A = this chain, B = another copy of it.
Amino acid sequence: MNSKGRLYGVGVGPGDPELLTLKALRLLQAAPVIAYQSAIDKDSIARQIVSQYLPGNQIEVLFHLPRALEPEKAKSIYDQEVQPIGQHLAAGRDVVVLCEGDPFFYGSFMYIFTRLSDEYQTEVVPGVSSLMACPVSLGVPFTYYNDILTVLPATLPTETLISHLLATDAAAIMKLGRHFTKIRDILHQLGLASRAKYIERATTTQQRIVPLDEVNPEAVPYFSMIVIPTKQQL
């Protein structure tokens, strides 16, 4: 007899609550426990996205998986942060972890998955990623049939970014934040600035599309992206 709870990693999409999947909605409403990431002193984006769907009688677990730490330090913090989730599972309660976008695509759920999926039955539900939502919100067809697409975190060194941008047909640059100026300068240097489109908080009520050279580098949020769509025309 297996009386352990089941772990669900559920993608809730890029921001618009209507971009939730039917499966995500069913699972998150049925679970006795929901868990979500939240930065210290900030509301959880994932919980905001689904708030209108919550039945109101669920246990809620917050966790905080800080980014950009040394690997060894991160591991011990993550080990600790997943413990409350593990305790609910051990007590037989299913836990739905709400994940912005898609759980396995640059998602913090993966740190929970690698720690708990050996011990507890686990199901992951893919979601609409910002990688798909940003080109759609910008109105630019992204990749055609034989295009190469490269997804680049803005945190990478300049030389790495340049060599990849020169070798690809289409690109998405994520995690802009304080790296925005570096990226903008590279795009001008490579002659890509006119093709590059900037968007922040895509599909939410705070969505903003700003011409690249008018973006304030001091105010670029984490949830922003530069999309370089294909050159092909058909």
A30-38, A138-146, A207-215: which lies at the B interface? A138-146
A74-B234, A129-B132, A132-B11 known; A155+B149 contact, CB < 8 A: no
Cα distance, A133 to B126, chains bound together (Å): 5
Interface of chain A: mostly helix, strand, loop or mixed: mixed
Cα distance, A75 to B14, chains bound together (Å): 33
Interface flags, A93-127, vs B, CB<8A=1, else 0:
00000000011111000110110010000001111
Copies in the complex: 2
Chain B residues lying within 8 Å of A129, measured Cβ to Cβ, are 129, 131-132
Q: Are A145 and B106 in contact (CB under 8 A)?
A: yes
Q: Does A13 contact B (CB under 8 A)?
A: yes
Q: Are A150 and B148 in contact (CB under 8 A)?
A: yes
Interface flags, A16-42, vs B, CB<8A=1, else 0:
111111110110000000000000000
Q: Does A54 contact B (CB under 8 A)?
A: no
Cα distance, A111 to B105, chains bound together (Å): 28
Q: Does A71 contact B (CB under 8 A)?
A: yes
